[in-house]
Structure formats: C-alpha cells, structure tokens
C-alpha cells in the first residue's frame, strides 16, 4: 500500500522545558520527580548530552495533579477515552501495538491457533486449551428456526441461540475461573454453529467458518488471524458492558448476549457493516477521491479510517491487509481495497482501521454480506469471556454514581 499523509505521531520523549511546562512546575521539581522514579529520563546522543523525559510519564503526572485539583471533572471524563477505571491483565495497548497478556497480538495471529489464544486470554496459558476440550452438543444444531438464516442478522441469531443454550447448561452457573473457561468453550461452539448455519461437522470456530464459506487453506488462515485480532481491545464499550453484567453474577451466556448488544451499535462493531456498505458503493465509482469528497460535503462520516489509540495506524488492520496481499496478490478486490485505502488516507489524513480491514477481508474472500461484523463478534466473544472471568474473581459489582444535574428537590 503506498504511503499517504497521516497525523503526526507525538514524540515519546520531550525536553526538560516542555516537561516542566506541561506539569506546571520548575525544573528543580521535575528533577525531583525523576530522582524519585516517577518520570523516566535518558541522555540524548547529541553533542550537548542533554536529558529528555518520557512523555507518557509526564502526562501521567499531569493527570494525577488534575485529579487532585478537580476530581469531579476527571471522573466525568473517565468514561470517554479518559483515565483507566478498572484493572485488567488481559490486554495492553501501548506504543502503537496490541498485546494479549504480554504477547504481541499480531504475532499471535500469525503463529497460534484460535483455541490457544482463547486459552491464553482465559487462563494465561497456551496449553490449557479449554476451548478445544469442550466440544459440547449444548446449543442449536440446525439453522435459525422458522426463517432462513439470511433473513435474520447474525447477532440476533446468536443471541437467541445463546439464550436457548443457557437454559439447558446448568454448569454455566459455576462461576469459578476454570468452569467459566469451560463454559466459554461451549459458547464458542454454539456461535460457530450459528455462524456456519450448522453446516459441516467442525466444532472449532475457524474450521467451521472455513468449511461453510468454502475457503481454501489461505482463506482459513486469514479468517483465523481476523478472529484472533478481534479477540479483545481493552475496555471498549462492549467489554465494559460485559464486565458490568458479569459483576451482577449473571452467567457467561448472559455476558456474551449483552456484549453482542453493545457491539452491534454503529459506533462500535456495527461500523464494520457500514464500511462494508461503503466498499460496495465505492466499487461502482470510477473517481474515488471525488466520491469520498462528496460524502464529506454532505456531512457524512467516512468510516474505516483512524483510531484514537493508534495515531500511527491500527496494527490489526495493517496485519490483515498484509496477509491478504501475501495470499491474494492478484485479487482485483484487493487492488480495489488497497486503492480505496490510499485515497481514503489522503482525504481523511487517517490510516485504515480494523473495520476497514474486516470489510476488505469479506470482499477479497467473497464472504456473505455481513460477514465483517460476524467475524468481529465471534472473535470478541473470547475477550468478553476473559473479562467475565476477571470480574467474577473480584466479587465486586460495578456501580458508579451519577452527578445529578436536574431540577432541585422542592424547587419553586
């Protein structure tokens, strides 16, 4: 993919003057923070040998100061890309990379099976493989009852199937970590059968999808990588929803049903469907830049580009697009997606994100309409179960307070 302009990435290291100005302190105070281990510093390689300071540490100190001065303001913004509000050992997003329990997610997508990654997220171990050990018959074994699968969106079919399966799975109410991991394996089996419309004998999710969609080995590898890269993304809206539901001691089926409800929203996983629609429309255009510019003039958002946590580009999208290029170098659909990505970058000054990559995967592999959000939901289910395991272990219910701004009591 040819390079295109993007928003500048802030330097990870800043000067003493900028650090002191950001913190609103003197240089002597800055040096004191360094000596106490609050801020990392290093010597530059230039002739002056001046020291520079870690931007992340400086920003962290600044936020702490703001919290002490105005805790209400900090709390009000904490739920909008603000300060961390819950502890988790599952996912780290740092320096433009995504890690599951300390392992680079892109590398996992290239080298590990979906079962191994699920086990890593749920148990911290690759070899536990609860997802592979629980090939239960619990759940639906046929297509959506009473209607063709194509007539009902995947999320709706999945939620209905999970509700039915939950009613006959008494073990799902055992909320100990090992038991929840086993329930997670049964949930993945249910969802694999729903997504594959119960065709074939494969219980493993990636295998079931590859068989249902008639993919060769290359296509199956892309699907597996997409599912792994969708598995978790820290405390996004669906993961937070899942944790809230788990905090009430609802069973894992209910947790996943709730997560699916949040994911379907057009500001979250539902954006993938909007991007799929955009790619279908743009495929008929001969002047892509003009078509995108027209959308902007009409006040429409160009979905599929940019992510607040990845100013230098979404590594999940890059990995999937690179994999498509490696396996399908002669694909006309890939050439179109690559061209549209470059044009979109030049128009939005943002790079393609996961939504764009999933839509591109669906087009290049000729998957059924709506497959992008299906992949997103199936992969993200692994993360929701991992968050549920963590939340059950805390034995705490998530119950924030609201700051009342309405009519005062007994007001005239």
In tens, the pLDDT along 10-66 reads 567 899 999 999 999 999 999 989 988 889 888 877 666 788 898 888 988 887 777
Q: Does 50 share its domain with 153? A: no
85 within a domain of the structure (yes/no): no
8 within a domain of the structure (yes/no): no
Q: What is the pLDDT of residue 56?
A: 81
Q: Which two tokens stand for residue 232?
A: 């978790």
**What is the C-alpha separation between 228 and 217, in angstroms, rounded?**
17
Q: Does 70 share its domain with 131? A: no
90 within a domain of the structure (yes/no): no
Q: What is the pLDDT of residue 4?
A: 41
7 within a domain of the structure (yes/no): no
Q: What is the pLDDT of residue 2?
A: 42
Query: What are the pLDDT digits (tens) for 354-397?
Result: 999 999 999 999 999 999 999 999 999 999 999 999 999 999 99
**What is the C-alpha separation between 81 and 60, in angstroms, rounded?**
14
226 within a domain of the structure (yes/no): yes
Which of 345, 346, 312 is CA-nearest to residue 9?
Answer: 312
57: buried, middle or exposed (CB in 10 Å: 19+, 13-18, 0-12)? middle
Q: Does 29 share its domain with 134? A: no
Q: Does 190 share its domain with 313? A: yes
Q: Does 30 share its domain with 172? A: no
Domain CATH number, residue 161 = 1.10.580.10
Q: Does 197 share its domain with 343? A: yes
> In which element (H, E) is residue 104 found?
strand 103-104
**What is the C-alpha separation between 274 and 266, in angstroms, rounded?**
8
**What is the C-alpha separation between 166 and 171, in angstroms, rounded?**
9
Instruction: State pTM to two decimals.
Output: 0.80
Q: What is the pLDDT of residue 138?
A: 44
146 within a domain of the structure (yes/no): yes
DSSP 151: G
Q: Which of 56, 77, 98 is the last residue of a domain?
A: 77
| CB of 298 closer than 8 Å to CB of 338 | no
Range of the structural domain that residue 213 is part of: 107-399
Q: Which two tokens stand for residue 328?
A: 């399908």
Q: What is the pLDDT of residue 76?
A: 60
**What is the C-alpha separation between 183 and 206, in angstroms, rounded?**
18
Domain count, the chain: 2
Parts of the chain with a pLDDT under 70: 1-11, 46-48, 67-68, 70-84, 128-150, 198-203
Q: What is the pLDDT of residue 376?
A: 97
DSSP 110: H
Q: Does 117 share its domain with 69? A: no
Q: What is the pLDDT of residue 184?
A: 95
163 within a domain of the structure (yes/no): yes
97 within a domain of the structure (yes/no): no
Tell me the β-bridge partners of 310: none
Q: Does 148 share its domain with 22? A: no
Q: Which two tokens stand for residue 59?
A: 């920003």
Q: What is the pLDDT of residue 80?
A: 64
């Amino acid at each position: 993919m040819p390079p295109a302009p993007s928003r500048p990435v802030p330097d990870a290291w800043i000067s003493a003057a900028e650090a002191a100005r950001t913190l609103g302190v003197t240089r002597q105070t800055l040096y004191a923070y360094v000596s106490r281990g609050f801020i990392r510093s290093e010597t530059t390689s230039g002739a002056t040998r001046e020291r520079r300071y870690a931007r992340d540490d400086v920003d962290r100190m600044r936020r702490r100061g703001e919290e002490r001065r105005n805790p209400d303001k900090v709390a009000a913004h904490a739920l909008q890309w603000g300060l961390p509000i819950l502890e988790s050992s599952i996912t780290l997003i740092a320096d433009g990379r995504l890690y599951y329990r300390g392992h680079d997610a892109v590398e996992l997508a290239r080298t590990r099976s979906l079962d191994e990654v699920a086990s890593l997220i749920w148990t911290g171990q690759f070899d536990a493989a609860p997802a592979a050990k629980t090939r239960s018959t619990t759940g639906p074994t046929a297509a959506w009852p009473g209607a063709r699968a194509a007539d009902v969106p995947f999320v709706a079919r999945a939620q209905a199937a999970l509700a039915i399966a939950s009613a006959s799975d008494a073990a799902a109410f055992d909320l100990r970590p090992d038991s929840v991991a086993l329930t997670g394996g049964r949930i993945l089996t249910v969802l694999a059968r729903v997504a594959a419309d119960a065709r074939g004998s494969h219980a493993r999710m990636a295998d079931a999808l590859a068989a249902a969609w008639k993919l060769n080995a290359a296509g199956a590898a892309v699907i597996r990588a997409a599912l792994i890269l969708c598995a978790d993304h820290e405390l996004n809206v669906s993961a937070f929803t899942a944790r809230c539901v788990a905090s009430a001691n609802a069973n894992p089926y209910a947790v996943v049903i709730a997560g699916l409800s949040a994911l379907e929203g057009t500001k979250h996983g539902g954006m993938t469907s909007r991007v799929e629609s955009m790619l279908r429309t743009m495929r008929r255009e001969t002047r892509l830049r003009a078509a995108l510019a027209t959308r902007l003039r009409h006040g429409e958002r160009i979905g599929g580009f940019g992510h607040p946590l990845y100013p230098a580009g979404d590594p999940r999208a890059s990995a999937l697009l690179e994999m498509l290029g490696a396996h399908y170098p002669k694909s006309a659909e890939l050439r179109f997606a690559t061209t549209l990505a470059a044009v979109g970058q030049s128009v939005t000054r943002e790079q393609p994100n996961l939504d764009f990559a999933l839509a591109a995967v669906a087009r290049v592999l000729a998957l059924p309409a709506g497959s992008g959000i299906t992949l997103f939901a199936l992969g993200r289910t692994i993360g929701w179960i991992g968050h549920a395991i963590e939340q059950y272990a805390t034995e705490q219910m998530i119950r924030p307070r609201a700051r009342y701004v309405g009519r005062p009591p007994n007001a005239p």
